[in-house]
Chain A
Amino acid sequence: MQTFFIIAILFFGFVITFQIAKASEYVSVLRGEENSRKQNNKINAFLLLAFLVIGLIGVYYCNERLKGKILGESASDHGEKIDIMLYITLAITGFVFFVTQILLFWFAFKYQESEKRKAYYYPHNNKLEVIWTVIPAITLTILVGFGIYYWFKITGPAPENAMVVEVTGSQFKWEYRYPGKDGQLGKKYYKNVNPGEGNPLGQIWDDPFNHDDVYSTGEPLHLVVGKPVKLVIGAKDVIHDVGLVQFRMKMDAVPGTPTTMWFTPKYTTKQMIEKSGDPNFVYEISCDQMCGQGHWGMRGEIIVETQEEFDRWLASKKPQYALAMEKMQPAAKPASTDSLNKQSVDTVKRIAAINK
């Protein structure tokens, strides 16, 4: 019913506007087209000026309403650099925005058609054109300079002492692998992937580095405050993207081509709860690359904690190698096809659950 009313209102609005427009055409013929044209010209010139003034007020109002909703302070060292770059760019483009928009609408209003004025024949002026080629060029040099400086800082190699965590995306979940005591992730091969046999990531068990690697999914990713972390990012099926809003970081997860990014978390989750005054605050991992129909719900969480808390948590986890061996020992039946089918059924259920 509501829909019907909306459609009816739109329809009548349509008809009425059209009738008015047509009538105005007849009126203008009666009153003399030249007169009504001049009148229209004045009205539109005024409206352009009004648009400028109201628009600028709107820009201010919009900022007042929404500035509290964009992210607060960045929670990583790299994020700080990105924020500085953002503010430099905002200052420069903001200045250009106001100057050019004001000139545009002001000129339009000021130089509206008038019988008293003749348009000024002014085809070119080399000096002016050089000025507005050189000034933007210099400004952009500054932006490029800062931009590339920060870019190399952020994308440069991770520090030696960085902890390594592997993040793997698949429709529509995140899986994590921690290197364990040896600090090294073991090798893997995608054809070994077999969740039914306790090998969801396809680790190669012959590689001893794999023996202490801890696998985790369905629970938050654990990171240590103040300690650089290098994420090794991959995907099993399609391209995903690890997006970390508070850390201002983002990197695609590409099947077949591992990527990396590193940063240093500045605040623990607890500190962020205090800082933001939001008791439910949580660091989130969002998938930022369209990955299928569950894309919008492909969510992960991160807990940033102290080294002791992290160590305690990691100690509570069994390496995946041990879990897989337990699984294999009691009944050494080749469960491969079964488990694969089961897994795909699970995935379908997951999608159904997400999309319900």
Chain B
Amino acid sequence: MSNNATRHGQTEIVTTHEVHHDEHHVHHHKETFITKYIFSQDHKTIGKQFLITGIIWAVIGGLFSVLFRLQLGFPDTKFPILETVFGHYAAGGEIKPEFYYALITMHGTVLVFFVLTAGLSGTFANLLIPLQVGARDMASPFLNMLSYWFFFLASVVMISSLFVQTGPASGGWTMYPPLSALGQVNNGSKLGTDLWIVSMALFVVSSLLGGLNYIATILNMRTKGMSMTRLPLTIWALFFTAVLGVLSFPVLLSGLILLLFDRNLGTSFYLSDIVANGQILPNEGGNAILYQHLFWFLGHPEVYIILLPAMGMVSEILSVNSRKPIFGYMAMVGSLFAICILAFLVWAHHMFVTGLNPFLGSIFVLLSLLIAVPSSIKVFNWLTTLWRGNIRFTPATLFAIGFVSLFISGGLTGIFLANSTIDIHLHDTKFVVAHFHIVMGVASFFGMFAGVYHWFPKMFGRYMNSTLGYFHFWVTMIGAYLIFWPMHYEGLAGVPRRYLNLAPWHNFNKFGELNKMITIVSIIVFAVQLMFIFNFFYSIWKGRKVRHQNPWGANTLEWTTPIRPGHGNWTGEIPEVHRWAYDYGKDGREFIPQTEPIGKDESKHH
């Protein structure tokens, strides 16, 4: 990747204004190893901490999926190595059902919360918010540091739950009671589930501390001239993500606390009329479905907490690399806002077959399908952004394009599931698995990869190896479709989720070959992710050095900082902003940074 092509468009900007109230220009305080890398209050370091912790979790969560894919693809084969590693959980080289359910539960929990929430928005909100709004750090660097360390604690507790004697939580990542409430019906619902709840509580604290900080920073700490409508779309997306998190995570926490009470204090919030394993329980009057309402009140916004940051980064990256403004900036912000509101009003579409009042169900059909409107606005706007551009295919661009492709595919299958009539048939089948993995799992990962490749030079002052980047993209893209596209057919045939062996089933036991293929592809894709991680760490120390302040020729403020910015980001004053972030290709200029004042002869602003 050379910088020559992009350099000519840049003009040296001298900011001569004297209006900054920000007195502390550079932080010269002494930093020890501990304050610089461990208990750091620098948002950039905290972002990297989130990213690296997220990567570790992604390897663990991904490895779990490879293990249970082995079971699904090769139900009759024995893998003695599994017994060597996992002992009685895989006695005889076969994955035991108990272990299988622990694996899927942890896979879901880890990837949804620890990787795609903390690892994704934790990383990029921390890295990008101060840099792109023009602030020296977050509103409260200390709370920000706490946010990471609460996440770290949550991680420690979750990891420890893997090693307790009765095994980790194994009631599915949604942790529905009574299964999750009663130790006598499920081994994983013993100590493992208590640890799961404690870990999630710590996680909620982390996410609230982070979220409040992101909101405060975006609202209060924008540099001079940075009106809300001049914010890059990344920041808008991260803003709405934080709002979603702050309003919905507490509801999850309350639901989990009630579950904790039911488990340990003999309350009956979710329990009623239960004969567990021959034992008649005294609990009466509770309602198991109540938990599902509380859970999905977070659970649905959660998928947007995962998706919105990816959308924001993809918007930014597509615009920078097609050398064109993002099409329909206000529509993009508006659709983010609409998604954010609707995210709170659709939770019961996960519950169409729980015995929900059909009238209530119909309201949720309407509201759920409504989300397709802002989503399609976004897709068409991305397409128009590419149209008549001059596109540079960096690995980040490819992942952004891949994101759009996956978002379309997975979004469209959502239209099936949001319609309660079809959901009766498809509910809790492999169709659902395929749908949400494509639209929220893989697509968000693609947004995350795009972000890592794009902002790696800002994070570490070096480039990642782009040949490996291309290889990573193509294998992952092809692999993702090979894994999840045919899985829809299994779902249409009614194959339920969370079945570890289809052999007992006359109507389902016909996908042996398909499941084998999916398993092999997922192993390959997992191996290539390890290669990405290798590339990541190798490039931190050995990557090609960044020699140009603005390697992608981008307009946003992070590229006005030094190549390796210190704590405080800008050495001099914080730059002033004079325009929106998307003046690419305007008046024959390749790009016009946000810091450049509007010229006299410049054509009218957007």
Contact = CB atoms under 8 A, between A and B. Distances in A.
Contact of A117 (B278, B390, B502, B514): B390
A312 interface: no
A71 B494 contact: yes
B63 to A, nearest CB: 13
Contacts of A323: none
Nearest to B412: A93
Nearest to B420: A151
A12 to B, nearest CB: 12
Contacts of B272: 255-257
Contacts of A17: 468, 471, 531
A243 interface: yes
Contact of A257 (B2, B287, B489, B535): B287
Interface string B419-437: 1111011011100000000
B168 interface: no
Interface string A136-163: 1100100110111011101110000000
B448 to A, nearest CB: 20
B171 interface: yes
A30 B553 CA distance: 23
A293 B499 CA distance: 10
A155 B361 contact: yes
B415 interface: yes
Contact of A119 (B277, B331, B531, B585): B585
Contacts of B271: 255-256
A44 B470 contact: yes
A348 B266 CA distance: 25
A303 B486 CA distance: 31
Given A243-B496, A288-B496, A248 B358 contact: no
Interface stretch (A210-218, A232-240, A313-321, A324-332): A232-240
Q: How large is the interface on A (under 10, 10 to 19, 20 to 34, 35 or more residues)?
A: 35 or more
Contacts of B422: 82, 85-86, 89, 147
Given A148-B366, A243-B494, A113 B355 contact: no
Given A104-B404, A290-B176, A148 B365 contact: yes
A344 to B, nearest CB: 4
A254 B324 contact: no
Given A108-B386, A120-B388, 16 more contacts: A13-B527, A33-B2, A40-B393, A45-B391, A108-B401, A122-B388, A125-B328, A147-B420, A241-B353, A248-B425, A252-B353, A259-B354, A286-B505, A288-B429, A295-B101, A344-B278
30 contacts: A17-B468, A18-B531, A18-B534, A97-B412, A100-B408, A104-B405, A108-B393, A111-B388, A118-B390, A120-B387, A122-B387, A136-B373, A140-B369, A140-B415, A146-B421, A147-B422, A151-B358, A193-B280, A238-B178, A246-B507, A248-B424, A249-B424, A250-B424, A256-B272, A257-B272, A260-B355, A288-B497, A290-B497, A293-B97, A296-B502
Interface of B: 1-2, 4-5, 79-81, 96-98, 100-101, 170-172, 176, 178-179, 182, 185-187, 271-280, 284, 286-289, 322-331, 353-355, 358, 361-362, 365-366, 369-370, 372-373, 376-377, 379-384, 386-393, 398, 401, 404-405, 408-409, 412-413, 415-416, 419-422, 424-425, 427-429, 465-468, 470-471, 474, 477-478, 481, 485-486, 489, 492-494, 496-502, 504-508, 510-511, 514, 527, 530-531, 534-535, 544, 582, 584-588, 606
